[in-house]
Amino acid sequence: MRAPLAWRMRPQSLDEVDGQEALLARGAPLRRMIDSGRIGSLLFWGPPGCGKTTIARLIAQHTALEFVPFSAVTDGVARVREIVAEATARTRQGGLGTLLFVDEIHRFNRGQQDAFLPHVESGLITLVGATTENPSFEVNAALLSRLRVFVLQPLSVAAITRVLERALADSERGLGPRTAAPDALALLSAHAAGDARRALTALEASVALLPDATSELTAAAVAETLAAKLPTHDKGGDQHYDLISAFIKSMRGHDPQAALYWLARLLGGGEDPRFVARRMVRFASEDIGLADPAALAQAQAAADAYRLLGSPEGELALAQAAVYLATAPKSNRVYVAWGEVQRDAERTMAAPVPLHLRNAATGLMASLGYGAAYQYPPDQPDGVADQTYLPDHVSGTWYVPGPIGYEKDVAKRLAWWAARRGGASDA
């Protein structure tokens, strides 16, 4: 049985690797290390199909190391011990050094990752790890400190197109000689979302639909293959956090076009709309606050509308709220105040409530002075009572309204009330 096209078309040399020129072009950092033959232990961080495994294989080939693949999904620590024993024997016999390639290294828990440490430290093995997740969070700090991290990027549309063209032209490893219409290649490249393996898999499936070896691959044939849409958004991985971060920052930056785009990416990729709605409600308080009090109501209404309607009808309510939040004036004054007052409240937890603010629920409490000096504001001139509302020895101006939107009016009210109490302005 013939291997899949994506396997057959793996680059055979560093110069064949497409899309990672920043690392592998002549004079680039990783290329210099490889050409010098001085390879330490490495970690490749990048999305699926960007070339992590291929580059690791080529490093072993280029530096005369024994390539030993290892999957954190299917193999365990017992297999690590076997590999170490084999590497030790190989070294004693004067054989090749060992390049241990650990795919999806983030799947190992931090304790399991410790199994590599002494052998990386001693130089018995050259460890090359690969991960799609942020190594800062997923890789043991002790191991990470011994690895040089290289970030691989998703392949550009142009790079994916070149990969596809090579596969169509190559008669030995690829599908060639074959021709494809430009719009067919464009559709495949866009569908791949930066993943060369995904692109080649879709190309192979599309070509299989053609009646004979002379038929040109058309966009219609590709569209038929891609009819079963595959989400490209990993809800549990880094992209989940990257996309929601881009969405939030676009709303914060007053860009409704970008906010709608990232919302469409999130929902189109399979993200749970309820998660998006929750983040929008949070955003309405954290980033808009009292600059536009209606923002929270808009976000909450969108969340309620989605719960009522579901997809796809309810997604329009989320889009409406996203535009509203993006175009609303912004203020984080309540957010900042809440953080500061929480710290001060924790520090003064034992401060007693002033007597005039206590409720005299019984005769005994009244006799002790509970509520005796309390001034009821509606009965006071201008509705302002000249009294304090904080414990003795506790003071602070935690909330300071901003100069934008509704908070301008809040600042005026606070100043007016402060003047009538005879005290300094809270604004």
pLDDT more than 90, % of the chain? 58
Report the b/e string of 53-87 with b at 16+ CB within 10 A. Answer: bbbbbbbbeebebbbbebebeebeeeebeebbeeb
Instruction: Characterize the bridge pairing of strands 42-45 and 125-131.
Output: parallel
Give the tens place of pLDDT for each residue, 267-292: 887 888 999 999 999 999 999 999 99
The average pLDDT across 91-100 equals 86
Cα–Cα distance for residue pair 42/63, rounded to 1 Å:
14
Distance CA 282, CA 248 (A): 10
CB–CB of 88/55 below 8 Å? no
Provide the CA 37 distance to its chain's centre, in angstroms.
Answer: 35
Task: Give the pLDDT of residue 427.
Answer: 41
- Condensed to tens digits (0 to 9), the pLDDT of residues 160-190 reads 999 999 999 999 999 989 999 999 999 999 8
Summarize the confidence of residues 28-45 as an average pLDDT: 91
User: pLDDT class for 116, splitting at 50, 70, 90?
Assistant: confident
Chain centroid to Cα 137, Å, comes to 12
- The stretch 10-15 carries a mean pLDDT of 92
> Does the pLDDT of residue 194 top 50, yes or no?
yes
How far is residue 319's CA from residue 38's CA, in Å, rounded to a whole number?
52
Q: Which residues pair with 70 in a beta bridge?
A: 102
- pLDDT > 50? residue 156: yes
CA distance 341 to 300: 26
Tens of pLDDT, residues 298-344: 999 999 999 999 888 999 999 999 999 999 999 999 999 999 999 99
Integer Cα distance of 214 and 220 in angstroms: 16
Report pLDDT for 237: 54
Q: Can you give 95-151 as a three-state secondary structure string?
A: CCEEEEEEECHHHCCHHHHHHHHHHHHHCCEEEEEEECCCHHHHCCHHHHCCCEEEE
Question: Residue 74: pLDDT above 80?
Answer: no
What are the angstrom distances between the C-alpha of 224 and each of 161, 207, 213, 218?
19, 11, 18, 10
Nearest alpha-carbon partner for 81 in 109, 53, 118, 56: 118
How high does pLDDT run on average in the chain?
89
pLDDT band at residue 37, thresholds of 50, 70 and 90? confident
